[in-house]
Amino acid sequence: MTDTKKVNLLGLSPEKLIAFFESIGEKKFRATQVMKWIHQKGAENFEEMTDVSKALRAKLETICEIRAPEVVSQNISSDGTRKWIIRTEGGKNDCVETVLIPDGDRATLCVSSQVGCSLDCSFCSTGKQGFNRNLTPAEIIGQVWIAIKSFGPMDPNGPRRVTNVVMMGMGEPLMNFEPVVDAMILMMHDNAYGLSKRRVTLSTSGVVPKIYELVKRTDVSLAISLHAPNDALRNELVPINKKYPIAQLLEACQHYLANLPDKRHITIEYTLMSGVNDNEEQAYELAALLEELECKVNLIPFNPFPHSGYEKPSNNRTRRFQKIMADAGYTVTVRTTRGDDIDAACGQLVGDFQDKTRRSQKYIELREVK
Ligand code: SAH
Ligand code: SF4
């Protein structure tokens, strides 16, 4: 029981770690040393920290800890994709997923920010679970720590095991603002993971006021889950659109880009659902809508899950949508599904055992009576 009272240093942002060291009467540079031990060398206890005095190590031992979330399972797909199910503190079913997708000399880690999600997008299995709880900063950065450690001892001079992070796992990152910001600062910090700000991306379904807050705090790259070219359809697919319609969202995107210190683009995510948002007129409408925005478009063929009520479009339809956007001058990629054999595809995260929540049951019943 005493452990629960210890401060978990894993999730403290550089600023908070320094403040903590100062609060216990220690110098700033000690915080830097400890930060490097935790995030660059993967230290799990204070004993390992050989350049920290014995007395300080003993003191730290009594008042703090380095505690990563518990890994329930780790799967490695035949295509190299790795997936972890991570149990967060709370209940025995409070699990999230983390997925690492290698691609040539890149490896992108898809990180979760909440158990479930309150925003209830109609096509998202996380949304169907309802909102359970927010992850702590340690549970968020812990996913990066666990992924890198899965390759063996961490070596700051060795090959980079994770080159990119996308906050595209479970949850809406802007609804768990402070912990997500702290974790992303660690991802980019030179004394922690040192990732380029161009390679750390936050994906949001459009919590507009928080986009304005975000650019005051970090300069990560931004992805917007748009999924529809007009408000009528987006209101159905992404209910938060009723609160913050497309025009406000695009204005927030412009503000975000204008306030970054460098020139960047927004990534527009558009999940293609057969017969819902994938026809030619919708492609033209989307092309016109995004005209003023510096952006790239990522088309995601819908990943089916039981009782979703949606289907993914044929390859032909996907290609046609892509071509219309490309002809209009956009850079358009189509996300290919990886890690199929371990259910690591987008929107299929932590499937079955959480599908039994009341909200999901209600949803299934609704679908079935239709
Ligand atoms: N809440 C954030 C981030 C997590 S979702 C957001 O919505 O942006 C990550 C991406 O996966 C989003 O673009 C989301 O719309 C998409 N997605 C969710 N369910 C999906 C599914 N079943 N098939 C394809 N994409 C899906
Ligand atoms: Fe939440 Fe994103 Fe899923 Fe929408 S798509 S329910 S915002 S996780």
Q: pLDDT higher for 310 or 3?
A: 310
Look up residue 360 and give its DSSP letter.
H
> Model-level pTM?
0.92
For 211, residues 6+ apart whose C-beta sits below 8 A from its C-beta are 174, 204, 222, 249, 252, 253, 255, 256
Beta bridge partner(s), residue 257: none
* Ligand closest to the CA atom of residue 223: 1
* Ligand closest to the CA atom of residue 122: 2
- pLDDT (0 to 100) of residue 352: 39
Active site residue 64: no
Do 116 and 93 touch, CB atoms closer than 8 A? no
Residue 342 above 70 pLDDT? no
Please tell me the CATH superfamily of domain 70-364, with its number. Aldolase class I (3.20.20.70)
- pLDDT (0 to 100) of residue 156: 86
Same fold, 7-65 and 70-364: no
Range with lowest mean pLDDT among 173-182, 197-206, 341-350: 341-350
Residue 256 above 70 pLDDT? yes
Ligand 2 atom with minimal separation from the 126 CA: 3
Q: Place 358 in a pLDDT band, splitting at 50, 70 and 90.
A: very low
- pLDDT (0 to 100) of residue 357: 39
**Cβ count within 10 A of residue 245:** 16
Q: Which residue has the tokens 């057969």?
A: 274
Q: Place 343 in a pLDDT band, splitting at 50, 70 and 90.
A: low
Q: 275 C-alpha to center of ligand 1: Å?
A: 18
- Residue 141 CA to residue 189 CA, distance in Å, equals 12
Write down the domain spans for the chain: 7-65, 70-364
Q: pLDDT higher for 1 or 264?
A: 264
HSE on the CB side for 299, CA within 13 Å?
Answer: 28
Do 183 and 192 touch, CB atoms closer than 8 A? no
Active site residue 253: no
Residue 363, φ and ψ in degrees, nearest 5: -65, -45
Which tens digits make up the pLDDT trace of 293-317?
999 999 999 999 999 999 999 999 9
Residue 117 above 80 pLDDT? yes
Q: 123 C-alpha to center of ligand 2: Å?
A: 9
- pLDDT (0 to 100) of residue 92: 64
Q: Residue positions in the annotated binding site for S-adenosyl-L-methionine?
A: 171-172, 203, 225-227, 303
Summary mean pLDDT of the chain: 91
Give the strand pairing for 64-65 and 7-8.
parallel
Tell me which residues have their CB closer than 6 angstroms to ligand 2. Answer: 117, 119-121, 124, 126-127, 171-172, 205, 225
- Which residue type occupies 94? D
In CATH, the architecture of 7-65 is Orthogonal Bundle (1.10)
- Whole-angstrom distance between the N-terminal and C-terminal Cα of the chain? 50
Catalytic residue among 95, 253, 295, 346: 346
- pLDDT (0 to 100) of residue 344: 58
Q: Which residue has the tokens 């007395």?
A: 55
Which tens digits make up the pLDDT trace of 162-177?
999 999 999 999 999 9
Q: What percent of the chain has pLDDT over 70?
A: 89
Q: Place 1 in a pLDDT band, splitting at 50, 70 and 90.
A: very low
Q: Is 303 in the pocket of ligand 1 (CB under 6 A)?
A: yes
Ligand 1 atom with minimal separation from the 224 CA: 8
- Residue 148 CA to residue 166 CA, distance in Å, equals 15
